[in-house]
Amino acid sequence: MPLDPTTIATLSRVSTATLTTVLLKHGLRNVWMRGTKPLKPGQPRLVGEAFTMRFVPAREDLATPESWANPRSTRGAIEDMPAGVIVVVDAMGITDAGIFGDILCSRMQKRGVAGLVTDGVVRDGAGVLGSGLPVWCDGVAAPPSVAGLTFVNWQEPIGCGGVAVFPGDTIVVDDDGAVVIPAALLEKIVPEAAEQEQLEEWIMGEIGKGVPLPGLYPANAETMARYQKDMGR
């Protein structure tokens, strides 16, 4: 099932930094995907269900331009993407072969894909930016994917930037990178994250008033009582 619009709206107001703190409280330390930087700074924060894709190292008999015409190819995966998903691609951190270029990104944008996240790189950088598809990656390289990678499958568990991502997990991306929320924890994380974000905004207001940090951040019982009063609770 696609993400509930209320969930998307709530998480769109929560930073990935806040999410990592909330997930840490649930024992999850490894949720931020390394190498997932915004291709264009200032891209909007996005929230979506993970649609996963996986590459393995290039093998000469499989990683060929002819492979792009196979049913099991990046092209086949793109035609299977529902609108609103965030595509998460395991490129094993390889940065000298671009997984997608302007044509594939334009098709993804046309299908209503919300964004692309990978620990690899894209090619045709100017064209990818021109496609309008928000991209988080580790840079740009001219060679095509088959120069260093073999595409194997989609919608299976992957590792992206050292983080395990399963189809159906929730992805949140902003200028700080990409964070995964496991599907089984989503109902707990959403309200906690919204509350944490609100608390930290209030704390910033207190900092502006000159309140010292001890007892404020992290908030002790007295601080929490003042916060609850200011929130009208």
Distance CA 186, CA 20 (A): 13
Domain boundaries, position 216: 188-230
Distance CA 66, CA 78 (A): 17
Distance CA 204, CA 217 (A): 10
Distance of CA 82 to the CA centre of its chain: 16
DSSP single-letter state for residue 3:
P
Distance CA 99, CA 200 (A): 38
Nearest 5°: CA angle at 126, between 120 and 129? 75
Nearest 5°: CA angle at 213, between 210 and 214? 130
Q: Which of 196, 215, 187 is nearest to 13 (CA)?
A: 196
H-run or E-run covering 192: helix 186-208
157 and 214 share a domain?
no
Distance CA 88, CA 49 (A): 10
CATH number of the domain where residue 37 is located: 3.50.30.40
Return the pLDDT at 66: 84
Using DSSP's 3-state secondary structure scheme, residue 152 falls into: strand
In terms of residues, how long is the chain? 233
Domain total of the chain: 2
Instruction: Tell me the pTM.
Output: 0.93
Return the pLDDT at 2: 74
Return the pLDDT at 1: 60
213 and 112 share a domain?
no
145 and 222 share a domain?
no
172 and 195 share a domain?
no
129 and 171 share a domain?
yes
22 and 132 share a domain?
yes
> Could you report the per-residue pLDDT of 179-232, keeping only the tens digit for each?
999 999 999 999 999 999 999 999 999 999 999 999 999 999 999 999 999 999
User: Which tokens in the block code for residue 168?
Assistant: 């159906």
> Could you report the per-residue pLDDT of 132-186, keeping only the tens digit for each?
999 999 999 999 999 999 999 999 999 999 999 999 999 999 999 999 999 999 9
14 and 87 share a domain?
yes
Return the pLDDT at 68: 80
64 and 176 share a domain?
yes
64 and 21 share a domain?
yes
Instruction: Convert 187-214 to b/e letters by CB count within 10 Å (16 or more is b).
Output: eebbebbbebbebbebbeebeeeeeeee
User: Which residue, chain included where needed, has tokens 């209030």?
Assistant: 202
44 and 117 share a domain?
yes
